[in-house]
């Protein structure tokens, strides 16, 4: 059965895109069939995996509007994952969806048509709690929340959990939170560990281990159109995502 995970945090810069790309690559290394979905109109995931968003003819936006088939939009990345790409045109699609019937269910319906081809579908959500994110939560079985291990990083987590609760109550009763994945973690400081403890105590959410270390290698990888597993295979950041992927498989 296909497992669909929405990687969500309305705060930008917390490692959502890096997590989707790196986990996807780690699962692909394990011979899993992986589809990544870029729901951010900025096309960060698309660009990070070596595809120029401006050169994309068919995006996830066209699929959601029903003007293109899901399979016609999918492209293959150099890391071996399949991708539903995005670019700035998805902004217009999102605006149009606001007045469309079944907008919360459109991504779920689109992914159902190709789900048999994949073991895992990972959705990179935009840094908002708008139509696209709600659609991702409606399509997913699990939610993974990347969270930067810094003092103010968990402001807004309560609002995100309220949105997840509403989606679970009214749209997708099967949805559950897999946990919080600490990112940009500096294990040398007590502060980082204190933040993780505070998150656990405040929200009673599982903490996914290992924490993802803070390193410039994550910022460098998109320049090569690859994940960190493709550019720095033996780096501790790549290994951390391999361990997270192994825990998902287990």
The overall average pLDDT reported for the chain is 92
Largest Cα–Cα separation, the chain: 52
Please write the tens of the pLDDT for every residue from 217-245.
888 888 888 899 888 888 999 999 999 99
Question: Whole-model pTM?
Answer: 0.94
Q: What is the pLDDT of residue 152?
A: 63
Please write the tens of the pLDDT for every residue from 51-84.
999 999 999 999 999 999 999 999 999 999 999 9
Please write the tens of the pLDDT for every residue from 17-56.
999 999 999 999 999 999 999 999 999 999 999 999 999 9
Q: What is the pLDDT of residue 126?
A: 94
Between 144-153, 206-215, 219-228, the lowest mean confidence (pLDDT) is in 144-153
On the question of a cis peptide bond just before residue 210, with omega within 30 degrees of 0, the verdict is yes
Q: What percent of the chain has pLDDT over 90?
A: 71
């Amino acid at each position: 059965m296909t497992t669909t995970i929405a990687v969500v945090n309305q705060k930008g810069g917390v490692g959502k895109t890096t997590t989707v790309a790196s986990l996807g690559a780690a699962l692909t290394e394990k011979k899993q069939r992986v589809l990544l979905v870029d729901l951010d109109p900025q096309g960060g995931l698309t660009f990070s995996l070596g595809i120029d968003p401006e050169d994309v003819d068919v995006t996830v936006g066209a699929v959601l509007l029903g003007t293109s088939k899901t399979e016609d939009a999918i492209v293959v990345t150099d890391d071996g994952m399949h991708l539903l790409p995005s670019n700035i045109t998805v902004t217009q699609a999102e605006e149009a969806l606001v007045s469309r019937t079944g907008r919360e269910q459109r991504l779920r319906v689109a992914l159902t048509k190709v789900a048999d081809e994949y073991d895992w579908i990972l959705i990179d959500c935009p840094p908002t709690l708008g139509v696209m994110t709600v659609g991702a939560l409606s399509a997913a079985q699990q939610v993974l929340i990347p969270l930067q291990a810094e003092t103010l990083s968990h402001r807004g987590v309560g609002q995100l959990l309220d949105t997840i609760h509403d989606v679970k109550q009214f749209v997708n009763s099967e949805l559950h939170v897999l946990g919080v994945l600490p990112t940009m973690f500096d294990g040398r400081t007590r502060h980082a560990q204190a933040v993780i403890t505070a998150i656990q105590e405040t929200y009673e959410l599982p903490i996914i281990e290992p924490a993802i270390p803070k390193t410039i290698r994550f910022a460098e990888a998109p320049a090569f159109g690859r994940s960190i597993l493709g550019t720095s295979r033996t780096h501790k950041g790549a290994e951390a995502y391999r361990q997270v992927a192994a825990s998902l498989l287990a």
